């Protein structure tokens, strides 16, 4: 007689019967490890079998305050009683835009969209329309969403297929993208200042935009080298190119003002989504009035039925209100620093080559002792070891993404006790995996058995 199916298996079977591979984004397909969620609250999620996890995936970053955060849920519920979308400006839109202009340097004007991909698509058109040029510079290893223009040489690229860094070869992320579209793309290797400078100078007069993730939010939180962002700013000024910071992951996460104040480098246009609305569908294109004011009928097109929808803009207004009134970023800094130090200490004790990169609110663990500064050098990292540790931790109730390119995200609701529990679980997971591999450095295990 066959075993009765678990609830999880039943849900996965239902999901797979109606959605390709049971998911609505390719990235959520974990094959035999896929799972179905029932609910979330604060820093926790529960699956359909009632198992609780401390969540560091946080929906790929947007949950900055916590799941179902009361101040946001209350404001959205109240707002929705009066309708959810109107073909006109709404009071919540004005409030959310005012808060953004107050919090973010150079955000003199704001337009709303619904997802990060929409925001980057619109920002690219804005730069093209403003400059009258068609190409844009993209960095290898950066991800700017799921539209055709930007799905090249993302963090999922195979380094061996990228060509020489002086003359990068586009690596297309999957089928279905028109061949001609890569004609609009100029590629450069992240953090390679001399090479990038030469590439920009060679293409300067055809570049509408330099598009960059100010830190590599889709590649383990690799940070920009000193001088890298400054060089982009200087060349953008020299050649009249629009510098776009894609802050879909860094915005309202690295700090109130995002990456510009953090790195002390100014951008012309910024794209936001994710943390802006604590996970509700909302995105923004923000920037200098001189450029943004070209959005108008007969000028540069920006449109969308759901732009400024009430759930999204009320959520943004409520989320930014909490950020303006409470020490959200101080708490994230404290908890994240403790986690970064803790995982670093555990991996060092067990003799695992690694480095911890990024910032406390969003950090990555790279299993390598080589210098890693872009998608090419990232090839040296031991991704299987990381993945095994992640699955051992997930089994114990701590959920970080088994794909090491995806950083750990923290939320304001995470407590000191959650951090302590996470580090205990992380240590047990590392121990289990290394024991399995029989590669434990004696000191690590001996220390443990003595305690």
Ligand X SMILES: Cc1ncc(COP(=O)(O)O)c(C=O)c1O
- Residue 161, helix vs strand vs coil: helix
**Between 69 and 149, CB nearer to ligand X:** 149
Kindly state whether residue 373 participates in binding ligand X, applying the rule CB under 6 A: no
Q: Is 218 in the site for ligand X (CB under 6 A)?
A: yes
Identify the residue among 144, 192, 335, 431 touching ligand X (CB under 6 A). Answer: 144
Burial class (CB in 10 A: 0-12, 13-18, 19+), 37: middle
Selected range binding ligand X among 144-152, 288-296, 322-330, 430-438, rule: CB under 6 A? 144-152
Burial of 87 (0-12, 13-18, 19+ CB in 10 A): exposed
Is residue 248 a contact residue for ligand X (CB under 6 A)? yes
**For the purposes of burial, counting CB atoms within 10 Å of the CB of 47, is it exposed (0-12), middle (13-18) or buried (19 or more)?**
middle
Q: Is 143 a catalytic residue?
A: yes
Residue 359 forms beta bridges with which residues? 362
The DSSP code for 280 is S
Using CB under 6 A as the binding rule, the residues of this chain from 57 to 86 that contact ligand X are 60
Catalytically annotated residue among 60, 138, 149, 246: 246
**Catalytic residue selected from 44, 60, 130, 143:** 143
Exactly one of 69, 139, 143, 263 binds ligand X (CB under 6 A); that residue is 143
By CB under 6 A, tell whether 361 contacts ligand X: no
> Cβ of residue 358: shortest distance to ligand X, in angstroms?
13
Please count the residues of the chain: 451
Dihedral class, residue 351 (left if φ above 0, else alpha if ψ from -120 to 50, else beta):
left
With respect to ligand X, which residue has the nearer C-beta, 189 or 217?
217
The answer to whether 116 contacts ligand X (rule: CB under 6 A) is yes
Q: Is residue 374 within the footprint of ligand X (CB under 6 A)?
A: no
Number of residues counted as binding ligand X (CB under 6 A): 16
Nearest to 386 by CA among 371, 419, 408, 362: 408
Query: β-strand 52-55 against 44-47: which pairing, if any?
Result: antiparallel
- In the structure encoding, which two tokens stand for residue 1, read together? 């007689």
**Is 274 annotated in the active site?**
yes
Q: Minimum CB separation from ligand X for residue 322, in Å? A: 21
Closest CB 124 distance from ligand X, rounded Å: 12
Among 117, 157, 357, 377, binds ligand X (CB under 6 A): 117
Are the beta carbons of 366 and 404 closer than 8 angstroms?
yes
Rounded distance between C-alpha atoms, residue 283 and residue 221, angstroms: 21
Nearer of residues 253 and 354 to ligand X, judged by Cβ: 253
Comparing CB distances to ligand X, the nearer of 214 and 336 is 214
The residues annotated as belonging to the active site are 143, 246, 274
């Amino acid at each position: 007689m066959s075993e009765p199916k678990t609830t999880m298996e039943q849900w996965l079977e239902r999901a797979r019967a109606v959605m390709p591979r049971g998911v609505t984004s390719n990235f959520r397909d974990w094959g035999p490890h896929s799972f179905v969620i029932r609910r979330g609250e604060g820093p926790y999620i529960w699956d359909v079998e009632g198992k609780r996890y401390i969540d560091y995936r946080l929906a790929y970053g947007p949950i900055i305050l916590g799941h179902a955060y009361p101040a946001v849920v209350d404001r959205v519920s109240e707002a929705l009683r009066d309708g959810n979308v109107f073909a006109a400006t709404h009071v919540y839109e004005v409030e959310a835009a005012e808060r953004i202009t107050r919090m973010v340097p150079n955000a003199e004007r704001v337009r709303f969209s619904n997802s990060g991909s929409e925001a980057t698509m619109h920002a690219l058109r804005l730069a093209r329309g403003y400059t009258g040029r068609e190409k844009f510079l993209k960095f290898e290893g950066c991800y700017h969403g799921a539209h055709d223009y930007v799905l090249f040489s993302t963090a999922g690229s195979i380094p061996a297929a990228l060509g020489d860094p002086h003359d990068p070869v586009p690596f297309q992320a999957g089928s279905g993208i028109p061949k001609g579209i890569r004609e609009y793309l100029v590629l450069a290797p992240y953090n390679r200042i001399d090479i990038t400078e030469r590439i920009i100078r060679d293409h300067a007069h055809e570049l509408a935009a330099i598009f960059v993730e100010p830190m590599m939010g889709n590649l383990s939180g690799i940070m920009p080298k000193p001088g890298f962002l400054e060089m982009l700013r200087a060349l953008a000024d020299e050649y009249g190119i629009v510098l776009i910071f894609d802050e879909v992951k860094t915005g309202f996460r690295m700090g109130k003002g995002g990456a510009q104040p953090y790195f002390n480098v100014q951008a012309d246009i910024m794209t936001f989504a994710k943390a802006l609305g604590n996970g509700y569908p909302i995105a923004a294109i923000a920037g200098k009035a001189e450029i943004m004011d070209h959005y108008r009928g007969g000028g540069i097109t920006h449109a969308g039925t759901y732009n400024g929808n009430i759930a999204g803009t009320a959520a943004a207004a409520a989320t930014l209100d909490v950020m303006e009134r409470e020490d959200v970023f101080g708490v994230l800094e404290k908890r994240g620093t403790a986690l970064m130090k803790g995982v670093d200490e555990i991996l060092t004790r067990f003799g695992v080559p690694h480095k911890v990169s990024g910032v406390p609110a969003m950090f990555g663990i790279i299993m390598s002792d080589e210098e890693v500064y872009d998608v090419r050098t990232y090839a040296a990292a031991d991704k299987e070891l990381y993945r095994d540790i992640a699955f051992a931790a997930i089994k114990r109730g701590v959920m970080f993404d088994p794909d090491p390119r995806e950083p750990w995200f923290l939320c304001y609701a995470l407590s000191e006790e959650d951090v302590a529990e996470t580090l205990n679980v992380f240590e047990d997971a590392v121990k289990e995996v290394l024991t399995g591999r029989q590669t434990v450095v004696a000191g690590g295990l001996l220390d443990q058995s003595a305690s």
